[in-house]
Amino acid sequence: MSELATDYLDGALPWRVRLRARVHLLMCRACSAYYDQMRRVIQLLAGGPREAPPQAVEDRILDALGHGHGGPGHRDG
């Protein structure tokens, strides 16, 4: 089912394949959860860019990753 998820979400599957996929989603918890996760990610991404985090938050994340304040991958300015 995972290889069909994108086409299923896009409505790009032939109706018979779409019907089989729908029946499978109704019966398989793992695939249903995967499908729901994909659908939510697409909805979030479709919402457009989000506001950048405050600089202090970005600095803490970069420090935690070893990329802040002169660490590997540090970028000035």
What stretch of H or E contains 8? helix 5-10
73 domain residue, yes or no: no
Please state the pTM of the whole predicted model. 0.54
In a domain, 72, yes or no: no
Q: Check residue 9 and give its pLDDT.
A: 86
pLDDT category at 23 given cuts 50, 70, 90 is very high
Q: Is residue 71 a part of any domain in this protein? A: no
Residue ranges making up the domain that contains 37: 2-64
Domains identified in the chain, total number: 1
Helix or strand run (H / E) with residue 55: helix 55-64
With bands split at pLDDT 50, 70 and 90, how would you rate the model's confidence at 29? Answer: very high
Q: Is residue 32 part of a domain?
A: yes
What digits encode the pLDDT tens for the residues 37-75? 988 988 888 877 778 878 999 899 889 988 765 555 445
Assess if residue 30 is contained within a domain.
yes
Q: Give domain status of residue 39, yes or no.
A: yes
